[in-house]
Amino acid sequence: MTKSKNLQKIKIARTYKKQDTAGLCKTSNGIKLTGDADATTPPVTDTVLKQKATALLGTNSLRQTDRSQATTDLEIQQKNDLIRQLDKDASYVEGVANDVAVAKGDVAAGEAVVTRIGFQLKKRGVAKPRDFEQVKSDPGTIHLHVKKAKPGIEGHLWRYGGTTAKDTPPPATALKLRVTVESDIILGDLTSGSIIAAQHASVVGVSHTKKTGAATSFTSKAASSVATNKAKHPVFSDKQTDPYNWTGFIYVVVP
């Protein structure tokens, strides 16, 4: 499988922090680090974890008959110490698992390290789409998508140009302008490996009423206000150098 530098980050769920004494000790006793093929130098061995879990269970059992403050404090101290040791191993195993995933270009390979050692994987969140982003593209092509500013018809302005590096906008004279009524645009015949910087602006007409007049502004950050007259024709001032509300540049490496 091809290696990837953009793999999903593997994280361990620290659910053991919320477990009672019995649950925490069960988790600790289930950690298997000795002889692991990848996690070869853990900060805390599973032998030490089991020893601490045994001591904690002993104190917890003692508290059933001895309710003194000293015994209670000892259990709290031992429980917090065991959690700290598990945290050390969890952070270490996370690092190992992500290294394995990158080396093999496969997230599942790294996740397997976590589960076989006995930790739980943190559930992956669902990534929210950005307002303006690149979506899946083919060689020599980039596909850009933008979130609509409002339901209904609106105009979309796109301008783009080649640049030498990310975070370096191209000169204004090098930008090409494209206009669509769709919220997606596909740019083809680009040079593979080149970097394209792109901006977007939505255009939404502003209705004219007797109360609001013709200069009412559209409040969405994703859209530009275009005033209309009573006949619903757009009105632009000749004194405006650029009436559109452009997004910041996004940078795309052409596949």
Query: Smallest Cα–Cα separation from 127: which of 249, 8, 253?
Result: 8
Q: Which residues pair with 184 in a beta bridge?
A: 145
pLDDT digit string, tens, across residues 190-203: 998 899 999 999 88
Nearest-angstrom CA–CA distance, 254 and 194: 6
| pLDDT (average), residues 82-96 | 96
Higher pLDDT, 156 or 240: 156
Nearest-angstrom CA–CA distance, 11 and 95: 9
Q: Which residues pair with 144 in a beta bridge?
A: 134, 185
Asked whether the beta carbons of 10 and 120 are under 8 A apart, the reply is no
Range with the lowest mean pLDDT among 45-54, 93-102, 200-209?
200-209
* Angle of CA points 183, 185, 188, to nearest 5°: 175
CATH architecture of 132-253: Sandwich (2.60)
pLDDT digit string, tens, across residues 205-234: 654 444 433 333 333 444 555 667 777 777
Query: What is the pLDDT at residue 6?
Result: 52
| pLDDT (average), residues 243-253 | 87
What separation in angstroms does the CA of 70 have from each of 25, 67, 81, 188?
Answer: 21, 8, 16, 73
> Is 60 exceeded by the pLDDT of residue 170?
yes
| pLDDT (average), residues 156-166 | 91
Nearest-angstrom CA–CA distance, 114 and 11: 9
- The whole model's pTM is what? 0.50
Query: What is the pLDDT at residue 203?
Result: 83
Residue spans of the domains in the chain: they are: 15-117, 132-253
Higher pLDDT, 246 or 150: 246
Higher pLDDT, 193 or 54: 54
The phi, psi pair for 239, rounded to 5°, reads -85, -10
| pLDDT (average), residues 64-71 | 92
Query: Smallest Cα–Cα separation from 200: which of 126, 105, 132, 100?
Result: 132
Percent of the chain with pLDDT over 90: 56
Cβ count near 110 (within 10 Å):
25
Radius of gyration in angstroms for the set of CA atoms belonging to the chain, rounded to a whole number: 29
Nearest-angstrom CA–CA distance, 50 and 250: 51
